[in-house]
Amino acid sequence: MKVVVDLAKCTGHGICESIADDVFEVQDDGTLVIHDSERPESDRDRMRQAVTQCPAAALSLTE
């Protein structure tokens, strides 16, 4: 599973970072960096939570 960000939609709220600060990092300029976008199956629930709670609908999961 891979978590993907649409940078055109991302507004840098940081909710994803509060859910998984080891995966998501909002930079000082508001851009989002994803560390190790390929995630293990054990992270599925946490990544789904980040995707569904993103207010800009900028995150998605792919298989």
> What are the C-alpha distances in Å from 11 to residues 14, 40, 45?
9, 26, 23
| pLDDT, tens digit, 9 for 90 and up, residues 9-41 | 999 999 999 999 999 999 999 999 999 999 999
pLDDT band for position 62 (50/70/90)? very high
Q: Which amino acid is at 44?
A: R
pTM for this one? 0.92
pLDDT score of 1: 97
Q: What are the structural domains, with CATH classification, of the chain?
A: 2-62 (3.30.70.20)
Rounded to whole angstroms, the Cα distance separating 43 from 56 reads 21
Contacts of 36 (CB under 8 A, 6+ apart): 23
Terminal C-alpha separation, the chain: 4
